[in-house]
Amino acid sequence: MSDEPRDATATAAADADAEVTGGLADRWASFRDREISTVLLTVVGVAVFPFLFNNFLDGYTQLATLMLIYGIFAVGFDILLGYTGLLSFGHAVFFGGAAYAAGIFSASVSTSPLLVLLAGTVFAVLLAWIVGFLSLRRGGIYFAILTLTFGQMSFYLAASPLAFLTNGENGFTSVDIGHLLGVIDIHGGVPFPLTMLVDNMLYVFVAVMTVLSVAMANRILHSPYGTVFRAIRENERRAEFVGLDVWRYKLMAFIISAAFAGIAGSLFAIEGNYVPLQSLYWTESGRIVIMTVLGGVGSLFGPLFGAGLYLYIENIVSGFETLGPFWHLILGVVFVVAVVLFPNGIWGGIDYVRDMVVGGEDE
């Protein structure tokens, strides 16, 4: 196919590696790099996912919903870890914090799902501003430890001194979610044509948010702003010498990723009508780290995949007779192997195999 003229609309990125690739890979790259195709892929993915999942993988719709929620969380986390190179061990604060904020908002201000979602996300963003401002005072390992510190602080704050707001160890139980836009019962069923794919409205709502989140992440990462993030990951000092205000970009990356965590956390509160105290504990931060790294840091879909895999193992594999008691152990081993041998996670592996098949095409 080498005699085919190159697609004129191919982006510069595709141009650059086109010399080693054939027409197929070339066209794939030009397709892949367009924003609309990323969004379309996501739409198709979330639409058929519950159908396939429920019918072939012993899954159930509630788990599929949860996978998407954690997927949003992981996509945001990857903007920080994979693209900017900052490892936060306190992201549960934004997830759990948003969940609490959303829950409390729904119980005392408005039950509109969209407003609840907005309230939780805004809370996460404001919190991230403060935590990021303090944690980014030092880089590298200190950043991880400091985010961990603030995470634990919020957990213990919610556990007792703020128990009058958060209901302490019992978790926040008074979440009250009304109808979407006043008409759609979010915890109800779906109208006819959709019933072939999913069976409740909640999934549709979360799926729409997932598509929006992926589109947003894609837009950010492919903008000049996202390029700066990558520059910082590659070499912070060099980015500084070029004249970039590295500190401010890092803070923005932190806040952006917290916004995703906030969306996910709010959806989590809406989904379960309940916010467990555990959602602030640092093991929750650890979970999102594992999901993102397993799925593949530095890719858009890897984290979504990792979140799904983690929750699948947690909910389905843990029920198996022989493997069940060891599921967490197995996950730990897989995680360590991934860190040591496959730093780009499962998605990196898929990319690798695809490159072998379609031809060398590397970023």
CA nearest to 210, candidates 117, 290, 294: 117
- Exposed/middle/buried for residue 324 (C-beta within 10 Å: 0-12, 13-18, 19+): exposed
Stretch 332-361: interaction string toward other proteins, x if CB under 8 A:
xx-xx--xx--x------------------
Nearest Cα to Cα of residue 20 among 344, 354, 358? 358
* 245 neighbors 66 (Cβ within 8 angstroms): no
The sign one gets for the Cα dihedral 209, 215, 218, 220 is: negative
The residue among 68 and 338 lying less far from other proteins, judged by its C-beta, is 338
Whole-number minimum distance, CB 314 to other proteins, in Å?
13
CB of 97 to other proteins, least distance (A): 15
Smaller CB distance to other proteins: residue 6 or 328?
328
The residue among 32 and 230 lying less far from other proteins, judged by its C-beta, is: 230
**Segment near other proteins (CB under 8 A); pick from 170-178, 257-265, 283-291, 303-311:** 283-291
**Does 73 participate in binding other proteins (rule CB under 8 A)?**
no
Tokens of 154: 């919020």
Helix, strand or coil, per DSSP, at residue 362:
coil
Q: Is 248 in the site for other proteins (CB under 8 A)?
A: no
Cα distances (Å, whole numbers) of residue 154 to 92, 116, 234 = 9, 21, 32
- Position 188 contacts other proteins (CB under 8 A): no
What is the C-alpha to C-alpha distance for residues 260 and 69, in angstroms, rounded to an integer? 10
Q: Does 125 bind other proteins (CB under 8 A)?
A: no
* Residue 80 interacting with other proteins (CB under 8 A): no
- Scanning 43-51, 62-70, 78-86, 245-253 for contacts with other proteins by CB under 8 A, the matching segment is 78-86
Binding-site residue total for other proteins (CB under 8 A)? 44
According to CB under 8 A, which one of 87, 99, 214, 255 is a site residue for other proteins? 87
- Return d(Cα 10, Cα 214) in angstroms, integer: 22
Q: Looking at beta carbons only, is 113 or 302 nearer to other proteins?
A: 302
Phi, psi values for residue 172, rounded to 5°? -85, 115
Distance of CA 301 to the CA centre of its chain: 9
Asked if residue 79 binds other proteins (CB under 8 A), the reply is no
Rounded to an integer, what distance in angstroms lies between the CA atom of residue 195 and that of residue 218? Answer: 30
CA dihedral of 283, 287, 289, 290, whole degrees rounded to 10: 130
Report, in Å, the least distance between residue 327 CB and other proteins: 9
- Least Å from the CB of residue 297 to other proteins: 9
Q: How far is the CB of 76 from other proteins (least distance, A)?
A: 17
Q: Rank residues 154 and 218 by Cβ distance to other proteins and give the closer one.
A: 154
| 3-state class (DSSP) for residue 215 | helix
Give the pair of three-digit tokens for residue 7: 């697609």
Q: Please identify, among the stretches 68-76, 130-138, 169-177, 298-306, the one whose residues bind other proteins according to the rule CB under 8 A.
A: 130-138
Residues 6+ positions from 139 with CB-CB distance below 8 Å? 236
Residues at the site binding other proteins, with contacts judged by CB under 8 A: 81, 85-87, 89, 134, 137-142, 144-146, 148-150, 152-153, 156-157, 159-161, 163, 282-283, 286, 289-290, 293, 325-326, 328-329, 331-333, 335-336, 339-340, 343
